[in-house]
Structure 1
Amino acid sequence: MTDYQNARSLAEQLTALSEATRIQLVHEIAQSGPCTVGVLARRIGAAYVNVSHHLGRLRAAGVLTNSRDGRRVAYSFAEGVFVPSRKDDELGTLHFGGWRISIGRMTGS
């Protein structure tokens, strides 16, 4: 059984993932590695300000982290959250406590 605090943490992470733009961002970072807001905005065809907002939500939930190099900020998965896969049909797995979510390779990407 999952205790309440672990369940609450998982719910926050799943809530952060439960938006289409955020799913696109997670997929892009899983596929390409750390990216800046500008690069992600171009890749998914969204406004910079919207991408920045969604990355902030993913960071607040502990899914992503960011690192600064001068004025550039790169977003990547928080430590232990993403494990790359060696399977042809899978990019990797998101790890949230005892829960796992596999990220498949999307056709046409």
Structure 2
Amino acid sequence: MTDYPAARTLAEQLTALSEATRIQLVHEIAHGPCTVGVLSRRIGAAYVNVSHHLGRLRAAGVLTNSRDGRRVAYSFADGVFTPSQAADILGTLHFGGWRISIGRTAGK
């Protein structure tokens, strides 16, 4: 059985993922760390919107960021993502005892 604090954390992480733009961002970051500008161009969304969604994912503990001067790169928080060697799976998100696999052609 999952205890309440673990269930609450899982719910917050899943809620953070439950938006189309955030799903696109997670799929892009699964290929490697990215800046807001790069992500904005890749998914065709405004910089300010991408920044907002990345902030939501970071607040939920899905992403982390690192700064190099003025550039901020976003990547998965420790233990959240494991790349896959399978031909059809890009990697797996780990949320406590729950797993979500990301297909290489997610959404296509």
Assess same fold via TM > 0.5. Answer: yes
With 79-88 and 99-108 compared, the bigger mean Cα shift is at 99-108
The amino acid across from 1:37 in the alignment is V
Where does structure 1 differ by over 3 angstroms across 4 or more consecutive aligned residues? none
Give unmatched runs, 5+ long, in structure 1: none
Question: Within the alignment, does 1:56 sit opposite 2:69 as a pair?
Answer: no
TM-score under structure 2 length normalisation = 0.97
* CA deviation after TM superposition for structure 1 residue 79, in Å: 0.3
TM-score normalised by L of structure 1? 0.96
Instruction: Tell me the residue number matched to 2:42.
Output: 43
Contact 2:10/2:95 (<8 A) preserved: yes
Unaligned runs of 5+ in 2: none
- 2:77 — aligned with what? 78
Looking at structure 2, the residues matched to 107 and 2 of structure 1 have their Cα atoms a distance apart, in angstroms, of 29
Fraction of identical pairs, as percent? 87
CA RMSD across the alignment: 1.3
Q: Secondary structure at the match of 1:11?
A: helix
Q: Would the alpha carbon gap of residues 9 and 107 (structure 1) be closer, same or farther in structure 2, given more than 3 Å must change?
A: closer
